[in-house]
Homo-oligomer: A and B are copies of this chain.
């Protein structure tokens, strides 16, 4: 792609560094900004710049927060001895939107992935282990995605906690509510049969 303007070329290049944004999409986005009032670009630039400079991570759960201890961790109504381990803040937001969880979170910031050069030392794992070993946690819920990396990370944490007396669980995998059986993949369907639950329990939850 040849550009008649170095300014345009630079903006498109930087935009195309974002994941899933190719050169053509980047050009489309940048040209859109040029067609809009100047204020739109100023607001975008300001919001991104401020976020990157002033962002804080909760000192307790490592989730993104504007203050040192996030709203969830500082909420006295949350169950403090139950911790749900998630990958990033999107998972926190997803679980919070269900309204079904009243415990705290621990955000790892990723999953162990040797292929991408991400080891346990790059994640917020040691602080989790410390927290658990200090005895303030009764139940750990593993809520990482059920991929190779997620399972590896779960297992690594599980091994680190050998000898510690704590209840551990993992979120249920199965056929989505309202999903048709015929469209489910075999592994999910298989797991949902192996991990079937008593009918009375299902009645209670519905």
Which of A's residues lie within 8 Å of B, judged by CB?
Answer: 1-8, 10-11, 13-15, 17-21, 25, 27-35, 38, 40-45, 47-55, 63-66, 70-72, 88-90, 92-93, 96-97, 109-110
Report A147 CB to chain B, min CB distance, Å: 17
Q: Distance (Å) between the CB of A143 and the closest chain B CB?
A: 17
State the copy count for this chain: 2
Are B66 and A14 in touch, CB under 8 angstroms?
A: no
Is A8's CB under 8 angstroms from B55's CB? yes
Cβ–Cβ contact A48 & B27, under 8 A:
no
Q: Are B72 and A11 in contact (CB under 8 A)?
A: no
A45 touching B49 in the complex, CB below 8 Å, given contacts A2-B96, A34-B64, A55-B34 = yes
Find out whether the CB atom of B66 lies under 8 angstroms from the CB atom of A31.
Answer: no
Residues of chain B within 8 A (CB-CB) of A50 are 7, 10-11
CB-CB nearest 10 A-B residue pairs? A41-B52, A11-B51, A14-B44, A14-B47, A11-B47, A7-B51, A10-B47, A45-B49, A45-B45, A5-B66
Instruction: Please tell me if the beta carbons of A1 and B44 are within 8 angstroms of each other in the complex.
Output: no
Inter-chain contacts of A20 with B (CB < 8 A): 25, 28-29
* Cα(A29)–Cα(B32), bound, Å: 18
Given A11-B48, A18-B29, A19-B28, are A4 and B43 also a contact pair (CB < 8 Å)?
no
Chain B residues with CB under 8 Å of A1's CB are 93, 97
Q: Could you name 26 residue pairs across A and B whose Cβ atoms are closer than 8 Å?
A: A4-B63, A4-B65, A4-B72, A4-B93, A8-B51, A8-B89, A11-B48, A11-B50, A13-B47, A14-B43, A14-B44, A14-B47, A15-B44, A18-B29, A18-B33, A19-B28, A19-B29, A20-B28, A20-B29, A21-B29, A28-B90, A31-B89, A33-B52, A41-B49, A41-B52, A44-B48
Verify B90–A55 contact, CB threshold 8 A: no
**Which residues of chain B are near A52, meaning CB under 8 Å?**
33-34, 38, 41-42
Contact of A70 with B25 in the complex, beta carbons under 8 Å: no
Cβ contact within 8 Å between A31 and B70:
no
